[in-house]
Structure 1
Amino acid sequence: MAELEKRGCDHVFFVGFLGAGKSTLARNLGRMFRRRYVDTDRLVERRAGQSVTELFGAHGEEHFRRLETAVLEDLSSERSLLVSCGGGIVETPRNIELMHQMGYCVYLDGDLDDSLRQIRRSDTRPDFKSVEHAAGLLEHRKPLYEQAADLTVDIRGASFTDVSYTVAELLLERGLL
């Protein structure tokens, strides 16, 4: 497998639907390779002093998305981060552009059943209103994830450990870890 040319800050962004395991993956790989990892939702919460749920409730999704873009822009001053992205980060075309300028996007491609198994508390996920709503949201976002993806990993039925090793191998082969 050929190495990929470095982009911008040399970040690796993990995108995918709710419950895809993006945060777990970034944390696992960060520990395995002694690389810093961040979560865009946590960075937004820190910046706003409110949880994602509170932000959605008090200010709406549009406000949250603006903060999300600002957080991504701030990452341009960092180097070689593993970045777990919120499930809706691809809703803003500018975010996809920023991620491609600063590094590479890995899409964790799962199905709704995978997500539902991982979503233990829907009250902490403001864009999860019902199974039917989630199905529609996944259908809407899937092409956006595919557009953002430099690399795609099928996570259907795989454990977090298996996904971590698969992604580590994929990134190492391409010189991204």
Structure 2
Amino acid sequence: MKRFAVIGKPVAHSKSPQMFNRFFRNKGIDAVYTRIASKNLKDALKTCRLLNIDGINATMPFKKELLETVDFASDEAKGVDGVNTVVFGNQLKGHNTDIYGALMPLKKRLKSLKDKKILIIGAGGAARAALYAYKKENAICYLSNRTYEKGREQAKKFGAYVVLFEKINSILREIDIICYTIPVKIDLDISQIKPSAIFFTAIYNQHFFKEECKKKGIIYIPGEEWLIEQGKVACSLFGFDCKNGFPDSILDKAKPKNRIALIGFMGSGKSTAGKLLAKKLDYQFIDLDKSIEKGEGKGIPEIFNNFGESYFRNLEYRYLSELKDKNRIVLATGGGIVESQYCFDMLKDYFFNIFLCGNPEDFFRRTENSSRPLRKGSNFFINLYRKRKDKYLMLSDLILNSSIYTPEEISDIIYYEFCKVL
């Protein structure tokens, strides 16, 4: 199985998994795409290596640092001063596909960008990609950024005109295309834009100015098109034929964020981190194994010994079923829950699943004094983890490395991610 992920801070909002996983399903490709949360780029890459990831996409704030980290960088990545796609192998090969996200939606609507007056709002990685792409097409570029010095620096690098942020509205009448790359709504007077203009946003989880553009008859291009076009090129770099079958829209429903399941192997810290996270979010914490023990009046080892693993998996499914419609919960699951296809499917459909990965040697050490029925010799333990690892990956909506982070740090990172998406 091929393994891919998106990294960033935050990253839980990313729609890349919906896009890539739909492509894999439609084409019958044995691959999975997930999200990796971390404090920094170094930890994210360490987690990628631990999980044998084949390729990643990167969002802010890691793009520029990735350029300095990869072994090889494409000319586009160097030109944009940032990497958003990395192919793993003997070397880390970095690329920038944002330039195609910035360019292709416009080329589908216009014969040429030559001499078109394009205003780019913002001066981050997306803005640099847009400047790089549009200047290659001989467009006349203007750039405006809240921090004037940063805007002037980027404008000078790409041969664009810099516009004072407070003067944006004064030039809108002469602009053919607005490329909006910042994640907040500013005081932009849409009434000043000519009806023949195009408003193109790079932000796909917000639709700033969509209604205002609609009322004025201005063509509005949503950020999903940027995401899809850059994703299509990244998919090709990952080694797939993406000319046909790549999604042209993202229709998959977002997973519920008010029903969280922590998944992973025994000893990964699900219960400890789960309690801390539930307290931070003001959610109810539920330990599925403890619920089963309480409901059955028997410990897990006793159930395994007297009735067998298959019987226990059926119990897991029954108790999990009672929680699928419950809101504002953090659920710590048992390490073997992915062995049941029924439980796997229920978690996939009803929960936001966070995989606490790590080194199996760490997990074995942490469970030294436990009575878990499947904690046998170290070789059996490690092989069992390796057998389940891809199942955890396929189920995951977000991954954290519990060999790097303490339960407190894990709960802090998840809380940060959820504060950004809830």
SS in 2 for 1:108: strand
Look up the SS of the partner of 1:37 in the other structure.
Answer: strand
- Structure with bigger gyration radius: 2
Whole-angstrom CA distance in 2 between matches of 1:114 and 1:88: 18
1:5 to 221, 242, 254: 254
Cα distance in structure 2, aligned partners of 1:158 and 1:61 = 31
Query: What's the offset of the Cα at 1:120?
Result: 3.6
CA distance in 1, matches of 2:314, 2:400: 28
* 1:139 partnered with 2:386: yes
User: In structure 1, what is the equivalent of residue 344 of structure 2?
Assistant: 96
Shift of 1:77: 4.0
Which has a greater percent of strand? 2
Q: Give the percent of matched residue pairs that are identical in Structure 1 and Structure 2.
A: 25
Q: After TM superposition, which residue ranges in structure 1, 4 or more long, deviate above 6 angstroms? A: none
Instruction: Rate the CA distance shift 1:30–1:83 in 2: closer, same or farther, 3 A.
Output: same
Q: Secondary structure at the match of 1:75?
A: coil
SS in 1 for 2:316: helix
Letter in 2 for 1:25: A
Task: Say whether 1:173 aligns with 2:409.
Answer: no
Do 1:10 and 1:102's aligned partners in 2 also have CA atoms closer than 8 Å? no
Correspondence 1:153-164 to 2 at 5 A = 153-164=400-411
Greater shift in the superposed pair: 62-71 or 89-98? 89-98
Q: Which amino acid aligns with 1:142?
A: K
Give the counterpart of 1:35 among 262, 272, 283. Answer: 283
Q: Determine which of 113, 121, 126 is the counterpart of 2:373.
A: 126
Normalised TM-score (structure 2): 0.39
Q: Could you say which residue in structure 1 is the equivalent of 2:332?
A: 84
User: Aligned partners of 2:310 and 2:255: how far apart in 1?
Assistant: 32
Aligned mates of 1:129, 1:57 — CA distance in 2: 14
Contact 2:356 2:400 in 1 (8 A): yes
Show CA shifts across 1:140-169 (max 9, x none): 000110011011112223222222212222
Q: TM-score, normalised by structure 1?
A: 0.90
The Cα shift of 1:94 comes to 1.3
Listed as ranges, the gaps of 5+ residues in structure 2 are: 1-9, 14-204, 206-252
* Secondary structure class of the residue paired with 2:331: strand
Q: What is the one-letter code of the residue matched to 2:305?
A: G
- The residue that corresponds to 1:72 in the other structure is 320
- For each residue in 1:106-133, what CA deviation from the matched residue of structure 2 results, as whole angstroms up to 9, or x when unmatched? 00011112202321423x2111111111
Deviation at 1:44, TM superposition (A): 1.1
CA distance in 2, matches of 1:64, 1:155: 26
Number of corresponding residues: 173
Measured after TM superposition, the shift of residue 136 of structure 1 is 0.9
- SS of 2:323's equivalent in the other structure is helix
In the alignment, the residues of structure 2 paired with residue 41 and residue 119 of structure 1 have an alpha-carbon distance, to the nearest angstrom, of 16
- The answer to whether residue 255 in structure 2 is matched with residue 20 in structure 1 is no
Per-residue CA deviation, residues 51-105 of structure 1 (Å, 9 max, x unaligned), is 0010001101110000000011011242121000000001111112111222210
Which 10-residue stretch deviates more, 92-101 or 82-91? 92-101
Q: Which has the higher helix share?
A: 1
What are the superposed Cα offsets for residues 12-39 of structure 1, whole Å, 9 maximum, x if unpaired?
0000111000001110011222210101
Partner amino acid, structure 1, of 2:379: E
The correspondence for 2:362, drawn from 105, 110, 114, is 114
Q: CA deviation at 1:6?
A: 4.6
Distance change (3 Å), C-alpha of 1:6 and 1:140: closer
Q: SS state of the match for residue 322, structure 2?
A: helix
Greater displacement, 15-24 / 163-172: 163-172
Q: Pick which of 143-152 and 163-172 moved more.
A: 163-172
What secondary structure does 1:127 align onto?
coil
Q: Is the 8 A contact 2:283 2:328 kept in 1?
A: yes
CA contact (8 A) 1:114 1:157 kept: no
Residue 353 of structure 2 aligns to a residue in which SS?
Answer: strand
Task: Quote the Cα distance in structure 1 between the aligned partners of 2:386 and 2:272.
Answer: 23
Q: CA RMSD in A?
A: 1.7
